[in-house]
Structure 1
Amino acid sequence: MQGTQLIGRVAAVLRRVGSSGAEGVTTAEVAAATGLPRSTAQRVLAALAEEGFVDRHGRWYLGPELFLLGSVAAERYDVTSTARDILRSLSAKTGESAFFSARRGDETVCLAGEEGSFPLRSHVLHEGIRLPLGVASAGLAILAYLPIDDVEDYVRSRGEELASAYGDQHAANPLTRRITATRRRGYAVNPGLIVPGSWGIGAVVFDRTGAPAWALSLTGVESRFNGDRTAQLGTLLLEAAHTLTQRIARRG
C-alpha cells in the first residue's frame, strides 16, 4: 500500500478501533471490517501503537495520542459540551437513554450518551459507534432532511448494501417509506429494526447554514416506546433538538 491508499486504510483501521468504544476490538475484527489481510492489519495496528494512536490490552483501543489531537480539534469542531445538559435533561424527564450523534459523510458517529433511570435499556448505541445513515433513528433523522436529490442518490446506491448488512427492512423501498414518515412527523422512529425489541427515536439538529449535521435520540425497550408515548417522546425530542440548534447558531 502506498500514498492515498495507505492513508485510507489507516483511517479505516482507526475508525474500526474507535467504533468499538470501551469494549475494544481484536485484530481479526479489524481485518474483517477493513478488508485487509490479518497480517497486514496486525502490522498497521502495531505501527499505530508505536506512535501512540492505539493501545493494546488484550484487545485494541484508541491511544493517548488521539486524545491529545482530539482535544485540540475539539476547540474548533466539537459541540458535544453544548449538548451535554440537554442529554441529561432528556434522560431525566423520560427515564430513557439519550444520545448525541454527528454526521460524518454517509455515517453517523455517536459522540455522547446519558443513561436513563429505567432498569431495562437498549444497548444498540454507545459512544464511538458508527452506523450508516438511515439505519438507526439518528441517521434516519439526518438523512430525511438532506436535499432530496442527495437522499434519492443515497437510497438508490446504498439500499442493497444496507439490506444485506441490516435486513430487508433497510432496502430501498422500506427505507424510502421511513424517510417520508420522518418528514411528515418531524422525528424518526426505528421500531426495533436493528435489534428486535430495541426502539429508537431521533430528531435532527441543524448547523448555522441549515444543514442537518447532528441528531438527538432516545433509545429503550419496545414497551416504553409504542403507542401514545411515541408521540410524547417525539415532541419532547423535537423541542430539545430545536433548543440545541439555536444554541449552536448562537455559539457560531
Structure 2
Amino acid sequence: MPGAQAIARAARLLRLVTAAGTSGAPVGDLAADSGLTRPTTHRLLSALRAEGLVDRDDATGRWLPGPELYLMGSVAASRFDVTSVARDVVRSLAVRTEESAFLSVRRGDETVCLLREDGSFPIRSHVLSEGVRFPLGVASAGLAILSFLPPQDVDAYLERQGDLAGRWGAAHAPARLRTRLRETQARGYAVNAGLIVEGSWGLGAAVFTRQGDPQWALSLTGVEFRFSGDRQAELGRILLAHAHQLSTRIGSR
C-alpha cells in the first residue's frame, strides 16, 4: 500500500520517543534503534513535530513526546486504560512483598510498563519504569504473557523475532526460551534470573481478559538474594493471588 512504509517508520519512531520518556532521545540513538538512516530519521521526526506528535528540546537536541500525543492518549484511555482498576492491586503487591511492583500491557510483540509502585525494601532494581518496553519473553512480564498464548502464536512470534538471542543474549535463543515457557506454565509465574541486568531478578504473572487472553501482567523486581529459595515461592504465591484478583476485576467490568 502506498505510504504504508512511511507510516510504519513514523510509528516506530513514536514508540522509541515515548519509551525514552521525559529525558528524551538524541536523533543518533533513534536512528540506530529504528534501523533508519540519520537523514531519514530527522526528516520523519521533523514531520511529526510539525503535527505536534513529537517535540525537540532546542538546548539539548533531544526528541520528546509532543502535546498531540497527550490529547490522543487521553481519548484512547477511556477504551484501553486499566490503571484505574489496577492501581490499588499493584500498590498492595508492593506493600505485601516489600519489592517494586509493576503492571504491564501487551502491545503487539512487546510489553509496555503502565504502573510502578516501589516497596519498602531500600535496595531496588531500576530496570523497569512507566513507558519502558521489552519484547515478549525478555522481561518477566512478557515471559508470563508469552507462556499463555496459543502455541501457534508463540511459534509465529519466535519466527518473527529471530534475533532475540543476538539482541538480548544467548539465554533468549528459541530452545532456551521455550524451556522457560514450559517452566512458567508449570509454575504459574515467570522467573527472570538476572537475564537483563546481572543480579536483578523478576517474577511475572499473566492477567487475563474475560475471554482468557493474557493481555497484561503483574511483576516484581528486586535483588537476587531476595528472590531465591523459599522466599521466591512465597513471592510467587502472592503474585499469583494478586494477578487472579485483577483478572477477576477486569473480567467483571
TM-score, structure 1 as length reference: 0.95
User: Are 1:95 and 2:98 counterparts?
Assistant: yes
What's the secondary structure of 2:252's corresponding residue? Answer: helix
2:213, 2:182 → 1: CA distance? 18
Question: What's the counterpart of residue 168 of structure 1?
Answer: 170
Question: What's the counterpart of residue 30 of structure 2?
Answer: 30
Q: How far is 1:119 from its partner?
A: 1.6
2:172, 2:189 → 1: CA distance? 18
Q: Residues 158-204 of structure 1, C-alpha deviation per residue, up to 9 Å, x if partnerless?
A: 3x411000100010111011000000010000000011101000000
Q: How far is 1:149 from its partner?
A: 2.0
Question: What's the counterpart of residue 8 of structure 1?
Answer: 8
Identity fraction in percent? 59
2:128, 2:115 → 1: CA distance? 10
Question: What's the counterpart of residue 106 of structure 1?
Answer: 109
TM-score, structure 2 as length reference: 0.95
1:21, 1:84 → 2: CA distance? 20
Q: How far is 1:116 from its partner?
A: 2.0
User: Which stretches in structure 1 are left out of the alignment for 5+ residues?
Assistant: none
Q: How far is 1:42 from its partner?
A: 1.3
Question: What's the counterpart of residue 187 of structure 2?
Answer: 185
CA contact (8 A) 1:155 1:175 kept: no
Equivalent residue runs for 1:12-161 within 5 Å: 12-57=12-57, 58=60, 59-158=62-161, 160-161=162-163
User: What number of residue pairs does the alignment pair up?
Assistant: 250
User: Which stretches in structure 2 are left out of the alignment for 5+ residues?
Assistant: none
Q: How far is 1:157 from its partner?
A: 4.6
| Stretch deviating more after TM superposition (53-62 or 162-171) | 53-62
Equivalent residue runs for 1:202-213 within 5 Å: 202-213=204-215
Match for residue 239 of structure 1 among 230, 241, 245: 241
What's the secondary structure of 1:20's corresponding residue? Answer: helix
RMSD of aligned C-alpha atoms? 1.4
